[in-house]
Amino acid sequence: MTAVGERVRVGIVGGSGYTGGELLRLLHAHPRAQVTQITSREYAGQYVYAVHPHLRGGVELQFIHPDALQPCDALFLCLPHGEASRQIERYAQLAPVIVDLSADFRLSDPTVYARWYGEAHPAPAWMGRFVYGLPEVNREALRGARYASGVGCNATAVNLALLPLARAGLIDYAACAISVGSSEAGAAVSAGSHHPIRSGAVRTYKATGHRHSAEVAMILGGAVRAHLAITAIEMVRGVHVLAHVTLNTAVAEKDLWRLYRGAYRNEPFVRLVASKSGLHRLPEPRIVAGTNFCDVGFELDADDPRHVVVVAALDNLGKGAAGSAVQCLNLMMNFDECDGLNFLGVYP
């Protein structure tokens, strides 16, 4: 594998969007990887800081046209839905390692894909080649893998919130109210992301049937009943999950601590936040903004030991997208899993 010094050569395809910019920020501080090319049809020939101004003075790369992409050691695909799968043969010839941040290869079953995305998968033979890129579930499968998918940001927050309960077989039903920031809509302007419409909004835009439900079922198991309702709020970065979980048996608070500590004590990017006092007793999106952390907490109903509220928060561009993608690359390349991901965020 050719490298720049001891650093692998990385390309970012579709780098003018928010996830492309976040990848570039994270990889700029990576000790083992160096971004050597980044593509954009619209901004080809311009410096990346013209689009990602926070990188000015640190990253001197210029965007290149996608047709000018050269072979490299690893590719991140940050393309609109459906594009990566239609060009996967070309990208596989350009790099031995690929992390696709779109939804194209998150699901392994073409029938399930068609149900949730409303069309046949453009490259069904490739679906089983991608490892779902959630290290907390697929760490060993990601080690040395050639292809990894991205993760849905909402699905990741729900999966990490409920995984310990699901593994213990305790979930009877989970109703997940999910609040999301405007960056989840991407960099392109839409009616829903237009500032006068988004400002001050508390707008439920997907009360049932969100596509990320397929990822939740895949990770937690099809027998787990978890319904997702998504609401847009006036926040730029962040996903906040408030899950009302009905358990099939009564539990004590110490049982919940045992489950969650057992699941996450060795996870570098999952923090348990469940305090009895203080301002930040439960997870909050602004605390994890810019980081690869997912904070998870819970509160047992004092009047009903079969009812627990689980709260999770992550940055949709971080742990929900680019952060998880870099974490996957680290595992795929046998780097330290935390390389480039140690930023603790800012407060206030």
pLDDT in tens, 252-276: 999 999 999 999 999 999 999 999 9
Q: Within a domain: residue 336?
A: no
195 and 69, same structural domain? no
177 and 79, same structural domain? no
At residue 195, the pLDDT reads 78
Contact 138, 163 (CB under 8 A): no
Residues with a known catalytic role: 153
166 and 125, same structural domain? no
283 and 185, same structural domain? yes
Q: Within a domain: residue 300?
A: yes
- Does the structure show a pLDDT above 70 at 3? no
Give pLDDT tens digits for 299-324. 999 999 999 999 999 999 999 999 99
294 and 164, same structural domain? yes
Q: Within a domain: residue 138?
A: no
Confidence of residue 200 (pLDDT cuts 50, 70, 90): confident
Question: Terminal CA-to-CA distance of the chain, rounded, Å?
Answer: 43
125 and 40, same structural domain? yes
104 and 206, same structural domain? no
Amino acid of residue 245: V
Here the CATH number for the domain that contains residue 284 is 3.30.360.10
Q: Within a domain: residue 114?
A: yes
> Is the sign of the CA dihedral 183, 184, 186, 192 positive or negative?
negative
- Does the structure show a pLDDT above 70 at 246? yes
Containing structural domain, residue 238: 153-316
| Total domains present in the chain | 2
Q: Within a domain: residue 107?
A: yes
Give 159: exposed, middle or buried? Use CB within 10 Å, 0-12, 13-18, 19+: buried
Beta strand 226-233 with 202-206 is antiparallel
Amino acid of residue 315: D
Q: Within a domain: residue 117?
A: yes
CA–CA dist 105, 114 (Å, integer): 12
Q: Within a domain: residue 333?
A: no
244 and 107, same structural domain? no
23 and 166, same structural domain? no
Q: Within a domain: residue 223?
A: yes
* SS3 state at 173: strand
Here the CATH number for the domain that contains residue 103 is 3.40.50.720
At residue 189, the pLDDT reads 67
- Does the structure show a pLDDT above 50 at 2? no
> Is the sign of the CA dihedral 32, 130, 292, 138 positive or negative?
negative
197 and 98, same structural domain? no
Confidence of residue 144 (pLDDT cuts 50, 70, 90): very high
Amino acid of residue 175: A
DSSP 93: H
122 and 56, same structural domain? yes
What counts of helices (H) and strands (E) characterise the chain?
A: 11, 14
The average pLDDT across 152-174 equals: 97
216 and 68, same structural domain? no
Place of tokens 């709020």: 233
